[in-house]
Structure 1
Amino acid sequence: MDYFSINSLREAHAGWSLLRAQNAPLALTFFMAAFTDPNQRNLGRQDLVDALDDVLFSLRDSLGEDRFPRPAAEYLDDWAEPEKAWLRKFYTDGRDEPVYDLTAATEDVIRWVEALRGRDFVPTQSRLSSIFNLLKTLVHGSETDPEARLAELQRQRDAIDAQMEQIRSGDIPVMSGPEAVDHFHQLTTQAKDLLADFREVEANFRKLDRSLREQISLWEGGQGDLLESIFSSQQDISGSLQGRTFQGFWDYLMSPQLRSELHELLERATRIDALATQDGLPQITSMQNDWLPAVEQTQATVRQLSAQIRRLLDDKVFLENKRIMVLIRSIESGAVAVRATPPPGAFAALSGHGVPVALPFERPLYEPSRQVAIHDGVDVAEDLDVDANALYTQFHVDPQRLAGNIDAVLAQAGQATLADITDAFPLSQGLAELVTYFQLATESTWATIDSERSQTLSWTLPDGSLREATVDQIIFVRPT
């Protein structure tokens, strides 16, 4: 970066303006207390006003009544102004009051201010190990030579065999206390950084959406060309580099096997003796639970932006149709105006209306139609002994009962697939009950249907026969 780019950041960047503000300590203190420390997002206006009133009361009690004389609501409105953009003020579905959240620039300032306090312990060995692991993954994962890939896998296999033989001989290498503390601090730091990065990811999605909206608003070509330009990009928001990497993280986080493995590793980490005195050790078990609300909000933002783009395209189509109707009406009114006194000469020239020429021998010969015999007699059916009870044997699938089954399973686990739920509560009403589960999944924001994975479900009919159905995998997540 050169002098001019740095000076541009100084003049226009929201984070830099926050650091230069007179009441920056008040703003940062409140942002930490309301958002980052409890890991909260999308807080209502009244809740934030009450929280800021408590902070202002405490500061005025310590510093004097003349400090911070403005009401809490005015501070919030000032911090959410576009010139500052320290808070993002917006409305969500189902809420009448505005909602506030930190911007990515404010999140960066908070992380930088927290780093200014200094650290009693700086992890170095674990960072070097992370760099080596990332470098090896990058190099070996990008290798296209099969012999080189096999040689690397053989080397890893030999190293694992040597470690297993060493353990069988009674020599068990254990990580030392300083090494464990080093890796623990590196773990907590990266977990906090990942949680803080979600706001920047969400901001990047909104930038992509804004760019696409500008393209739609400034488009001067045909409607078909506009649609082709938008859909040929394979949905710019989800198809971008940011969207693909975030979707990969979401798939990784939603994998039941990986979530179980992560939870088990976190539980075992809390039982390491060398980490018993470390602050924040019990909180790392809820690490993945802290990620879920942030990830779900980002996913909801992507869905909302896609819906808004569809509505914007519908508006463009409506305006285009309205313009065409105005042109048609103007032509009709002009024709009516000159109906009584038509102008001299040719009034209008229409091309493509020449007289077609057809030679006599080009016409087909006469072909008589065929007569089809139709039997129109009506046969009277004899009385048959037919059981009509099957017409009245109907049943109703109760969605509330199925929702209760889902809640009962999620009360024991953080998430569950449809197969887990049907194992606990077998299907008693067959395919109709299975379809109702899919309806609940599509209507819920805490369920995901993975079309790339399938699962086979089975149920038993009253006559004892077994039925099976292979469907897309559904993952239900317990709401936080």
Structure 2
Amino acid sequence: MDYYAINALRENHAGWSLLRAQNAPLAVCLFMTAFTGPNQRNIGRQQLIDVLDDLLFGLRDSFGEDRFPRPASEYLDDWAAPERAWLRKYYLPGQDEPRYDLTAASEDVVRWVESLRGRDFVATQSRLTSIFAVLKTLVQQSETDPEVRLAELARQRDGIDAEMERIRSGNVRVMSAPEALDHFQQLTTLAKDLLSDFREVEQNFRRLDRQVREQIATWNGSQGELLASIFANQQDINSSLQGRTFQGFWDYLMSPQLRTELRDLLERATKIEALAGVENLQAVTTLHQDWLPAVEQTQGTVRQLSAQMRRLLDDKVFLENKRIMQLVRSIESGALALRMQTPAGVFTELPAPTVEVALPFERPLYEPSRRTVVDDDVVTADDADVDAGALFSQFHVDPERLQAYINDVLADAGQATLGEITSAHPLSQGLAEIVAYYQLATDSDWASIDPETVQQLSWTLPDGSIREATVDQIVFGRPA
């Protein structure tokens, strides 16, 4: 970022204006008390006024009544105004009381202010371990050479076997207390960061939808072009990086098996002896319960955006139909007013009636069709010289079986190449099965064919010989 970009942020960014405000300590204190501290969202106006009144009562008792002379409701209205945008004020369907939530910019300021306080214990080892784990996953899951991936899996298997042997021999290594505190602090930090990310995700969805609604409001083209543009933008919202990664998180969180495993791990973490002195240790067991309301609200925002676009489109259609009826009525009124007044000069021109003339001698003469003599003598063939085995050696490639193979491999990975699928489920019907995979990839919206990258596929014939084929690389993705 250069000087001009930084200066633009200083003048226009809501978070920077919050830091420069005179009442910034009061606003940040309220945001911590009402929102980030208890991990709450969607707070009603009266409830938020009560929390702010409690803060103002204690501050006025210490600094005097003149320090914060305005009532709590005026502070909230000021902070939720569009020129500040520290709070988001909105209404839920069927409710008259406004609701409040932090904006992404305000939450960034709250996290930054909390970081200024400093920490007695800074997690470093667990961060380094996480960096190595993420880096290994990135490199290993992006490797296309089967031999390299098999070698890495073999190395991991050998390490697991060695660890199991050490445990059987009684050499059980337990994480030390500093290491446990290190990992626990990183766990709580990542959980809070994840909750703060949901506000930014929701804000990104609203910004994408706002662009679509602005396009609808200023559209001057045809109705068909408008529909095509709306559907394309809706698809862009769902298929954007923000939409796909959020959908992946939602699918991961909605898995009953993964939720059970996460709950079991959190409960076991609270029983670690090295963490017995940590404050609010039992609150860790409800981390996933804090995520669910935030994710459901973001999902509700996406659904609400779709409904808003549909209503805007209905309004556009209504206005266009009303305009058409007005034009029809004006034409009818003009015709009625002029029905007794003959216009001067040439009013309209009509082509003269004509008759198509076809003379009899211009028609072609009749020509009888020729008879073709067909030799219909039946000759009995010798069955001994006919090989009927080809009639009984036909086989059928079941596409549902191949789709089951693809789903089985994608259950453990976000995407997989055709080579990885055939490694897990070898080809049994040769080239016909490869053609069927191509057909599945062509019909699927979650598969791509890369003609610039090739891959080798092989299969074994019934006589034991091996056949190989060089084909374009096919990548199957897990449907969202």
Question: Which TM-score applies when normalising by structure 1?
Answer: 0.72
Task: Give the whole-Å Cα distance in 2 for the aligned partners of 1:129 and 1:348.
Answer: 87
One-letter code of the match for 1:35? F
Shift of 1:4: 0.6
Per-residue CA deviation, residues 87-142 of structure 1 (Å, 9 max, x unaligned), is 11111112112111111110000000000000011111111111111111112112
Distance 1:38 1:140, change over 3 A: same
Contact 1:80 1:87 in 2 (8 A): yes
Q: Residue 272 of structure 1 aligns with which residue? A: 272
Residue 160 (structure 1) aligned with residue 157 (structure 2): no
Within a 5 Å distance, the mapping from 1:199-348 to structure 2 comes to: 199-233=199-233, 235-348=235-348
Within a 5 Å distance, the mapping from 1:137-152 to structure 2 comes to: 137-152=137-152
SS of alignment partner, residue 89 of structure 1: strand
Shift of 1:346: 4.4
Task: Give the whole-Å Cα distance in 1 for the aligned partners of 2:359 and 2:191.
Answer: 87
Residue 172 (structure 1) aligned with residue 172 (structure 2): yes
Task: Give the whole-Å Cα distance in 1 for the aligned partners of 2:106 and 2:348.
Answer: 66
Contact 2:56 2:68 in 1 (8 A): yes
Aligned pair count reads 361
SS of alignment partner, residue 88 of structure 1: strand
Q: Residue 195 of structure 2 aligns with which residue? A: 195
Task: Give the whole-Å Cα distance in 2 for the aligned partners of 1:12 and 1:124.
Answer: 35
Contact 1:237 1:302 in 2 (8 A): no
SS of alignment partner, residue 7 of structure 2: helix
Residue 135 (structure 1) aligned with residue 149 (structure 2): no
Q: Residue 57 of structure 1 aligns with which residue? A: 57
Distance 1:244 1:348, change over 3 A: farther
Shift of 1:257: 0.2
Task: Give the whole-Å Cα distance in 2 for the aligned partners of 1:334 and 1:356.
Answer: 37
SS of alignment partner, residue 101 of structure 2: strand
Per-residue CA deviation, residues 23-58 of structure 1 (Å, 9 max, x unaligned), is 111111111111111111111111111221111111
One-letter code of the match for 2:340? A
One-letter code of the match for 2:8? S
Contact 1:89 1:100 in 2 (8 A): yes
Q: Residue 36 of structure 2 aligns with which residue? A: 36
Per-residue CA deviation, residues 262-286 of structure 1 (Å, 9 max, x unaligned), is 0000111111111111223211001
Distance 1:214 1:233, change over 3 A: closer
Task: Give the whole-Å Cα distance in 2 for the aligned partners of 1:154 and 1:359.
Answer: 89
Task: Give the whole-Å Cα distance in 2 for the aligned partners of 1:326 and 1:356.
Answer: 42
SS of alignment partner, residue 100 of structure 1: strand
Task: Give the whole-Å Cα distance in 2 for the aligned partners of 1:355 and 1:89.
Answer: 74
Task: Give the whole-Å Cα distance in 1 for the aligned partners of 2:350 and 2:87.
Answer: 62
SS of alignment partner, residue 235 of structure 1: helix
Contact 1:39 1:290 in 2 (8 A): yes
Contact 2:14 2:86 in 1 (8 A): yes
Q: Residue 434 of structure 2 aligns with which residue? A: none
Q: Residue 408 of structure 1 aligns with which residue? A: none
One-letter code of the match for 1:183? H
Shift of 1:347: 3.2
Distance 1:283 1:337, change over 3 A: same
Distance 1:73 1:357, change over 3 A: farther
Task: Give the whole-Å Cα distance in 1 for the aligned partners of 2:320 and 2:172.
Answer: 75
Contact 1:202 1:298 in 2 (8 A): yes
Distance 1:158 1:235, change over 3 A: same
SS of alignment partner, residue 236 of structure 1: helix
Distance 1:281 1:355, change over 3 A: farther
Contact 2:87 2:103 in 1 (8 A): yes
Task: Give the whole-Å Cα distance in 1 for the aligned partners of 2:168 and 2:105.
Answer: 53
Q: Residue 109 of structure 1 aligns with which residue? A: 109
Structure 2 residues without counterparts, runs of 5 or longer: 364-480
Shift of 1:355: 7.1
One-letter code of the match for 1:86? W
SS of alignment partner, residue 27 of structure 1: helix
Q: Residue 95 of structure 2 aligns with which residue? A: 95
SS of alignment partner, residue 171 of structure 2: coil
Distance 1:234 1:52, change over 3 A: closer
Task: Give the whole-Å Cα distance in 2 for the aligned partners of 1:30 and 1:279.
Answer: 23
Distance 1:133 1:59, change over 3 A: same
Q: Residue 15 of structure 2 aligns with which residue? A: 15
Per-residue CA deviation, residues 163-211 of structure 1 (Å, 9 max, x unaligned), is 2222222222222221111111111100011011111111111001101
Distance 1:66 1:145, change over 3 A: same
Task: Give the whole-Å Cα distance in 1 for the aligned partners of 2:359 and 2:250.
Answer: 73
Contact 2:212 2:233 in 1 (8 A): no
State which drifts further: 42-51 or 294-303: 42-51
Q: Residue 45 of structure 2 aligns with which residue? A: 45
Larger Rg: 1 or 2? Answer: 2
Structure 1 residues without counterparts, runs of 5 or longer: 363-480
Task: Give the whole-Å Cα distance in 2 for the aligned partners of 1:192 and 1:142.
Answer: 29
Distance 1:57 1:140, change over 3 A: same
Task: Give the whole-Å Cα distance in 2 for the aligned partners of 1:128 and 1:250.
Answer: 27
Task: Give the whole-Å Cα distance in 2 for the aligned partners of 1:206 and 1:226.
Answer: 20
Contact 1:230 1:236 in 2 (8 A): no
Distance 1:12 1:150, change over 3 A: same
One-letter code of the match for 2:44? G
Q: Residue 382 of structure 1 aligns with which residue? A: none
Distance 1:355 1:261, change over 3 A: farther
Shift of 1:342: 2.9
Task: Give the whole-Å Cα distance in 2 for the aligned partners of 1:190 and 1:346.
Answer: 83
SS of alignment partner, residue 245 of structure 2: helix
Distance 1:336 1:136, change over 3 A: same
Task: Give the whole-Å Cα distance in 1 for the aligned partners of 2:357 and 2:230.
Answer: 47
Per-residue CA deviation, residues 356-379 of structure 1 (Å, 9 max, x unaligned), is 9697999xxxxxxxxxxxxxxxxx
State which drifts further: 2-11 or 39-48: 39-48
SS of alignment partner, residue 232 of structure 1: helix
Task: Give the whole-Å Cα distance in 2 for the aligned partners of 1:70 and 1:262.
Answer: 47
Distance 1:56 1:360, change over 3 A: farther
Contact 2:44 2:100 in 1 (8 A): yes
Shift of 1:147: 2.5
Kindly report structure 1 stretches of 4+ aligned residues shifted beyond 6 Å.
353-356, 358-362
How much identity, in percent, do the aligned residues show? 72
